[in-house]
Amino acid sequence: MIGDRKVLFSGMQATGNLTLGNYLGALKNWVNIADEYLTFFSVVDLHSITVRQDPAQLRKQARALLTLYIAAGLDPEKNCIYYQSHVSGHAELAWILNCFTYMGELNRMTQFKDKAAKHADNINAGLFTYPVLMAADILLYQADVVPVGKDQLQHLEITRDIAQRFNAIYGDVFTVPVPYVGKAGAKIMSLQDPAKKMSKSDENPNASIYLMDDPDTILRKFKRAVTDSEGQILYREEQPGIKNLIDIYCACAEKTPQETEKEFEGRGYGEFKAAVGEAVVSVLRPLQEEFARLSGEKAYLDGIIKQNGEKAEYYALKTLRKVQRKVGFPERIR
């Protein structure tokens, strides 16, 4: 809590291209709830380097992601939109919190095991302590709530454990965050394997809709989407491909599954896939147009990056200085 407003923190990694799943499952939801909180939306580029990155590409993708936040509807005058790497407090607090985190806790993190399996040639310490940096991201701003998916819930739990452990030793230092409870964002699955989430790192380009895909590409990907041989447009677990397409259509056309079933009763899969594609094109067109416009406003974006970076640093330092005093670091002489 800062003043009379609860604090919300969230962020996305500056790697890969955002998908329709990232937009409908998270970014769109951020926009819908932003006015309820004092918000910090970070481009978490420190997290990105647990995997080797091309430096020029990482800078380009970080700027594109920050621009997308704004293009999606997050007002940078009301929301603190900033680069994680521009606020040194993230890394400084992460080191301190490393000293209050147990190896056994980190060994239990399932995401580390998954990522280590994918990057067996680069199992670095940063990959192992990734959850501690995430804890620092959240605790640095005294966040009350954090919107997280099921795959990140374990990381929020260890954040709570670290905060409570620190508070038990030094007093009431950190706000203990809770997961955001509200209308969940749509969970969008792969178009080629509806048993797994749509991912920006999927090797099959037809599995994901990227936010900058042009209309022809979007329609083609939906045309190739995996369905089944039942021939009925019904919202049920037995038809995961169709269920996923209905979820996407409902999120974009603002309809319920029941309304969608009724609308497409007796109609074929081909017609339904085309309708879903058109609905997605309609939703993404204004975002793409605003992204293109903002990308040309270099001075404006540079100003946002500077102002919001300074704002984030101001709040971060308030927490960091308190933590430094608590653990016994010497006072700074100004």
How many CA atoms are closer than 13 Å to the CA of 35, on its beta-carbon side?
A: 2
Report the C-alpha gap between 38 and 275 in whole angstroms. 38
Q: Does the annotation place 149 within a ligand binding site?
A: yes
Q: Is 162 helix (H, G, I), strand (E, B) or coil?
A: helix
The span from the CA of 126 to the CA of 45, in Å, is 13
Q: Is 199 among the annotated ligand-binding positions?
A: yes
- Please tell me whether 16 is known to bind a ligand: no
- 151 belongs to an annotated ligand binding site: yes
* From 6, 187, 200, 255, active-site residue: 200
What DSSP assignment string belongs to 253-284? HT--HHHHHHHTTT--HHHHHHHHHHHHHHHH
305 is in an annotated binding site: no
**C-alpha 102: how far from chain center:** 26
The question of whether 200 is a catalytic residue gets the answer yes
Q: What are phi and psi of 184, to 5 degrees?
A: -70, 145
Per-position DSSP letters for 102-142, written without gaps between them: -HHHHHT-HHHHHHHHHTTT---HHHHHHHHHHHHHHHTTT
Catalytic residue, candidates 197, 221, 243, 273: 197
Report the distance separating Cα 267 and Cα 259, nearest Å: 14
Angle of helix 153-170 relative to helix 110-118, nearest 10 degrees? 130
- 225 among annotated binding-site residues: no
The set of residues, in sequence order, having a beta carbon less than 8 Å from that of 21 and lying 6+ positions away, is 187, 188, 189, 197, 198, 199, 208
Tell whether residue 150 is among the known ligand binding residues: yes
Measure the CA–CA gap between 163 and 178, rounded to whole angstroms. 12
Ligand-binding site membership of 22 (annotated): yes
Q: Is 70 annotated as a binding residue?
A: no
- 54 is an annotated ligand-binding site residue: no
* 298 annotated ligand binder: no
115 given a catalytic annotation: yes
Catalytic residue among 28, 115, 243, 273: 115
205 burial via Cβ count (<10 Å: 0-12, 13-18, 19+): exposed
197 among known catalytic residues: yes
Beta strands in 29-184 (DSSP E): 38-43, 80-83, 145-146, 178-179
User: Any known ligand binding at 64?
Assistant: no
198 labeled binding residue: yes
Residues annotated within the binding site are 13-15, 21-22, 137, 149-151, 188, 197-201
Catalytic annotation, residues: 115, 197, 200
Sequence ranges of the binding site for ATP: 13-15, 21-22, 149-151, 188, 197-201
Binding-site annotation: residue ranges for L-tryptophan: 137
